[in-house]
Structure 1
Amino acid sequence: MPSVAERVEKRIARRPGRVFTFADFADLPASAVAPALSRLTRSGKIRRARKGVYYAPKDTVLGEVPIDPIEIGRAANGVPTHLAGLSAASALGLTTQVPARAELAVEGRRTTGATGVVTKPRFGTRRAGLEPAEAALLEVLRSIVSLSELSPEETVERLANVLRRPESMRRVLHAAVAEPPRVRAMVGALAEHLGAAGPELKRLRSTLNPTSRYRFGPLAALPTARHWGAR
């Protein structure tokens, strides 16, 4: 019968590119799993992202495939994570810059760091069910003034593309209610620019102080920006 170390190594080898935690070996004695993972780490067969979180590198003819930072963030924190900051802007095509460490938003708890990842806590959001691009949109809008390398018109077009499908529009309008006021205002301006006029948009507008003014950055180019408090 194979030893615990052999079973751990075989299980990891079957799933290259995957993030592993001790929960993936819950059927094996923990006292034997820990030293097996330590030996595999020392041999270079797996990498340690943080205590209790490992990943198996996947090699191709072009070299090693970088591990998905979202997977590391989810494994390290045990809750949903989304791209944030420059990572989110890059994913949406707003910049060609790639951060030295991936930036992730972590939902609903204080964050736990991991190798190659910067985490930012997000409390009280309504992002459950959002697709990656939709969550990235909300994150980018928090710092849109500094994140886009494109012209204002191109920036508007890139972000508007995320909302063009009716289901995406519905999900983002629902989630935006729990975002900071400036993000709410920019989502509203984008949605109205694309023709949205339903109850979700009216509800979003009702959450904003009609006398408040917000810095929209490149989104000030939206024809609807002034209707939503752009200064």
Structure 2
Amino acid sequence: MKTSVYIECKINKLPKGYVFTYIDFISEVTKREAIIKHLNRMVASGKIEKLSKGKYYKPQNTVFGNLLPEQNQIVKDLLEKNGKLLGYITGYSYYNSMGFTTQVSNVIQIARNETRPSLQRGRFKVAFIKQRNTIAKQNVPLLRLLDTIRFIKDIPDATINNSCIRLQKLLTELTKEEQEQLKKLALKYPPSTRALLGALFQQIDSNQNTEILQKSLNPITTYKLSVSKTILPTAKNWNIK
């Protein structure tokens, strides 16, 4: 089968929005230059779109133009390798999807154990956040929640008070087991994150056992957050000003 025919047949079978590179065709077509050349011809003809250098995608056409791939597709090579989870999307995307803000960012934030310099993928800037906990699929939702507490001041177009209200709601939706796991994961986060988590837990349940968080903090350290005493009266118990 000709290189061009093979490539187009394989792309036709891909779902719309799927991101791929020339490497996806190497197993069957050994001529790297021929693959890249034909992919670029397909870009020129409008059959596929180029995301960034060496990365292409099959566009989804709408009356408003071609849709960009989902963020998981855009950075999938940075999230997983050979079946091993390397990182997860967090930050701005999570704030928007979970109702902290309506603002949509062109920055994709990825948490990983080993970070790297930021890079560009099409119109998106990809930035990295250091995650000190082991990253596993089952704890990613909890890690995203802790990331939000850690960077609560950086949530765009949102107030600290409204973010605290939203966080309390999300914490109440966790099971007891998830709440206990969240406290353990928080031990590898900055003290300010642990303090705010403790205050939020005490606010939603005065009988909540927060000893593990309290013992991890310096009793004379204070944390400036400017949260309303009405919204989070337990803040004073955690030296949050």
Smaller-chain TM-score bracket: 0.7 to 0.9
Is the alpha carbon distance of 1:27 and 1:194 closer, same or farther for their aligned partners in structure 2, counting shifts above 3 Å? farther
Q: Aligned partners of 1:35, 1:87: CA distance in 2, in Å? A: 35
- Check conservation: 2:78, 2:87, Cα contact below 8 A: no
Give 1:18 shift: 1.5
Correspondence for 2:212: 203
The residue correspondences of 1:208-219 to structure 2 (distance < 5 A) are 208-218=217-227
| Structure 2 counterpart of 1:193, one-letter code | Q
Is the alpha carbon distance of 1:223 and 1:29 closer, same or farther for their aligned partners in structure 2, counting shifts above 3 Å? same
Q: Aligned partners of 2:16, 2:132: CA distance in 1, in Å? A: 35
Correspondence for 2:87: 80
- Check conservation: 1:82, 1:132, Cα contact below 8 A: no
SS of equivalent residue, structure 2 residue 75: helix
- CA shift digits 1:171-196 (9 cap, x unpaired): 43333222222122222222333337
Larger radius of gyration: 2
Tell me, which stretches of 5 or more residues in structure 1 are unaligned? none
- Check conservation: 2:118, 2:125, Cα contact below 8 A: no
**Sequence identity percentage:** 27
| Structure 1 counterpart of 2:11, one-letter code | I
Name the TM-score, length of structure 2 as normaliser: 0.75
Correspondence for 1:42: 44
- CA shift digits 1:23-43 (9 cap, x unpaired): 533522352433333333333
More helix by share: 1
Q: Aligned partners of 2:228, 2:4: CA distance in 1, in Å? A: 55
1:117 to 100, 125, 130: 125
| Structure 2 counterpart of 1:95, one-letter code | T
Give 1:16 shift: 0.8
Correspondence for 1:19: 19
Correspondence for 2:83: none
Is the alpha carbon distance of 1:33 and 1:157 closer, same or farther for their aligned partners in structure 2, counting shifts above 3 Å? same
- Check conservation: 1:70, 1:83, Cα contact below 8 A: no
- Check conservation: 2:17, 2:73, Cα contact below 8 A: no
* Alignment root-mean-square deviation, CA: 3.1
- Check conservation: 1:184, 1:204, Cα contact below 8 A: yes
- CA shift digits 1:91-115 (9 cap, x unpaired): 221222222x133123123145222
- Check conservation: 2:48, 2:56, Cα contact below 8 A: yes
Q: Aligned partners of 1:67, 1:161: CA distance in 2, in Å? A: 31
Correspondence for 1:104: 109
2:70 to 68, 71, 75: 68
- Check conservation: 1:111, 1:121, Cα contact below 8 A: no
Q: Aligned partners of 1:18, 1:41: CA distance in 2, in Å? A: 15
| Structure 2 counterpart of 1:208, one-letter code | L
Tell me, which stretches of 5 or more residues in structure 2 are unaligned? 81-85
- Check conservation: 1:4, 1:33, Cα contact below 8 A: yes
